Amino acid sequence: MTQPHTIPATRPATLPAMDPETFRARFAAIEREVGRVIVGHEELIRLTVTALVAGGHALVEGVPGLGKTLLMRTLAEVIDGVFSRIQFTPDLMPADIVGTQVLYEDPAGGRQFRFEPGPIFANFVLADEINRATPKTQSAMLEAMQEQTVTVGKQTYRLPQPFFVLATQNPIEMEGTFPLPEAQLDRFLFKLDVSFPSIAELVLIAERTTGAEVPRPLRVAGVDTVLAMGRLARDVPVAAEVIDYAARLIRATHPGDPTAPPLVRDAVRYGASPRALQAILLGAKIQAVMNGRLHVARADVRAVTPHAIRHRIILSFAGQAEGVEVDRVVGEVVRGVGE
C-alpha cells in the first residue's frame, strides 16, 4: 500500500506549550475578534470555535443573511491559516473538491501526470450550501472529514492541520437540494442552528455594515496555537461516572433501549451513533476548561449534548408525520436520564 504524502506541510514539527490560563485567553481572544464582525450569536461563535479546537467539523443551518458564511470567513481571518470556499451546486464534481491528475510537459519535452490539489487542501474549508450538491459529490467529503486524507487513484494525500469544515445549509428552500447522507451528517461534531437577530442586534448590524468603516478583526492565533489548544483539551480527565452518564444519554436516543423515553419509542427510527459520544466528551472537555475547571462535570455534558446529537437522530415516519422536532426529543432524553 502506498504511504500517504503531504500537500502541503501538514502540521508544525513542534507545538507551543499550552496551559489552561493561556487556553482560556486564546479562546476568549478568538471569540472577541469574531464578535467584532458577527453581531450577537455568542453561543454560535463559542460552539464553532469549540468544534475547531476539538478537531471536528460544524454544520450550520439558518435562513439566508444571518452571517453563516461571514462567520467562517472571519474565523479564518482571526486565525492565521489557509482558507478555502467551495460553493456546492448540482453540477459540482468530486474532482472539483479533492483535485485531479493533470498532464504537464516538462522543459525537456517530456510529459507526466501531476496531482493538482483541489480546494479541500486548506485549514478552513467553507462548504457553502452543501446540500445543493449531488450525493456522489457529497461523498467526496467523507474521507476528508473523517481520516483527514484524500485518495486519488492509488495515492493518498494528507490534508493540512488543523483541518476544519464548516458547512452551511438553508432549512427553508428545499427545491434543488439533496438530503445529506447519514454517514456524512455523522461526521459533523456539532450541528448549530442560527437564530434570527433581535431588534437591538438588527440595529447594530445595520450600523456596522452601512457605515463608512466596516470592523476588521485582528489576527490573534495561528494554526499551531489551535493544535496546542486541542492537545490540552484532550488531556482533560473525565471521571468514569461522567462517561457513563454521557453513554446513557446516547443509549436513551435509541427506541429499542429500555431507558428510552416514550417520545423516542414513538417518534425515532434510529438514535445517535458512538461518534456522538465522542463529540459530547470532546465538547464537554473544552467547556470545562473555559469554565475554569480541569475536570468534566455533568453540566458540561448537558451543555453540548443537543448540538452533538440533534443531527444524528433519525425520526420515524410517524414522528415526521406528527411534526416532532428533534430538539424536543433531545430534551426528553436529557430529562429522562436525569442528573
pLDDT at 291: 92
With 80 as the cut, is the pLDDT of residue 339 above it?
Answer: no
Question: Residue 97: pLDDT band by 50, 70, 90 thresholds?
Answer: very high
SS (H, E, C) 237-259: CCCHHHHHHHHHHHHCCCCCCCC
pLDDT at 205: 81
Structure confidence by residue, pLDDT tens digits, 123-147: 999 999 998 888 888 888 888 998 8
pLDDT (average), residues 222-237: 93
Return the C-alpha cell found at 100: 485531479
Structure confidence by residue, pLDDT tens digits, 270-311: 999 999 999 999 999 999 999 999 999 999 999 999 999 999
pLDDT (average), residues 231-239: 93
Domain ranges of the chain: 15-228, 236-337
pLDDT (average), residues 77-85: 91
pLDDT at 2: 39
Structure confidence by residue, pLDDT tens digits, 135-186: 888 888 888 998 899 988 788 899 999 999 999 988 776 666 788 888 888 9
pLDDT at 103: 79
**Distances from the Cα of 72 to the Cα of 98, 120, 252, 281, angstroms:** 20, 15, 34, 24
Structure confidence by residue, pLDDT tens digits, 248-273: 999 999 999 999 999 999 999 999 99
Structure confidence by residue, pLDDT tens digits, 113-128: 788 889 999 999 999 9
With 50 as the cut, is the pLDDT of residue 4 above it?
Answer: no
pLDDT (average), residues 49-74: 88
pLDDT at 151: 86
| CA dist., res. 121 & res. 136, Å (int) | 19
With 50 as the cut, is the pLDDT of residue 7 above it?
Answer: no
pLDDT cut 70: percent of the chain above it:
94
* Residues sharing a CB contact under 8 Å with residue 26, sequence separation 6 or more, in sequence order: 220, 221, 225, 229
pLDDT cut 90: percent of the chain above it:
55
Q: What top-level class would CATH report for the domain 15-228?
A: alpha beta
CB-CB contact of 268 with 309 (8 Å): no
This prediction has a pTM of 0.88
pLDDT at 224: 92
pLDDT (average), residues 9-25: 75
Structure confidence by residue, pLDDT tens digits, 188-221: 999 998 888 889 888 888 888 777 777 788 899 9
What residue spans of the chain are helical by DSSP H?
A: 20-35, 42-53, 68-78, 94-98, 135-138, 140-147, 182-185, 199-209, 223-234, 240-251, 262-267, 274-290, 298-309, 317-321, 326-337
With 50 as the cut, is the pLDDT of residue 333 above it?
Answer: yes
With 80 as the cut, is the pLDDT of residue 36 above it?
Answer: yes
Arch. (CATH architecture) of 236-337: Orthogonal Bundle (1.10)
pLDDT at 11: 54
Is there a common fold for 15-228 and 236-337? no
Q: Which amino acid is at 97?
A: I
The mean of the pLDDT values for the chain is 87
